[in-house]
A and B are shown apart, each in its own frame.
Chain A
Amino acid sequence: MNKIVSLICGIIFGIGLVISEMINPAKVLGFLNIFDKWDPSLAFVMIGALIVSTPLFHLFKKKDKPIFSENFSISNNKEIDKRLIIGSILFGAGWGLIGLCPGPAISSLALLNISSVAFVFWMSIGFYIASKFKK
Chain B
Amino acid sequence: MNIINFTPVTALTGGLLIGLSVILFFILNGRMIGVSGIASNFLIAKDKKIENLLFLVGLILGPLICTFLLDQEIKISISSSLSLLTAGGILVGFGTRLSSGCTSGHGISGISRFSLRSIIATITFMIVGILTVLITNIL
Residues of A in contact with B (beta carbons under 8 Å apart): 1-27, 29-30, 32-54, 56-57, 60, 65-75, 77-80, 83-103, 105-111, 113, 115-116, 118-131, 133
Contact = CB atoms under 8 A, between A and B. Distances in A.
Contact of B96 (A6, A49, A102): A102
Label chain B's interface by main secondary structure: helix
A74 B94 CA distance: 22
B112 A57 contact: yes
Nearest to B135: A96
Contacts of B76: 23-26, 108, 111, 113, 116
Contacts of A131: 40, 44, 97
A90 B17 contact: no
Contacts of A7: 54-55, 57-58, 61
Interface string B34-74: 01100110011000001110111111111111100000101
A3 B102 contact: no
Interface of B: 1-8, 10-33, 35-36, 39-40, 43-44, 50-52, 54-66, 72, 74-78, 80, 82, 84-100, 102-104, 106-113, 115-117, 120-122, 124-134, 136-137
Contact of A69 (B15, B30, B57, B74): B30
A120 B89 contact: yes
Contacts of B22: 9, 13, 49, 52-53
A69 B27 CA distance: 9
Given A25-B76, A92-B95, A119-B92, 7 more contacts: A14-B65, A39-B5, A40-B3, A44-B11, A69-B30, A102-B96, A122-B88
Can you list the 4 inter-chain pairs with the closest CB atoms, starting with the nearest?
A14-B62, A10-B58, A126-B93, A48-B15
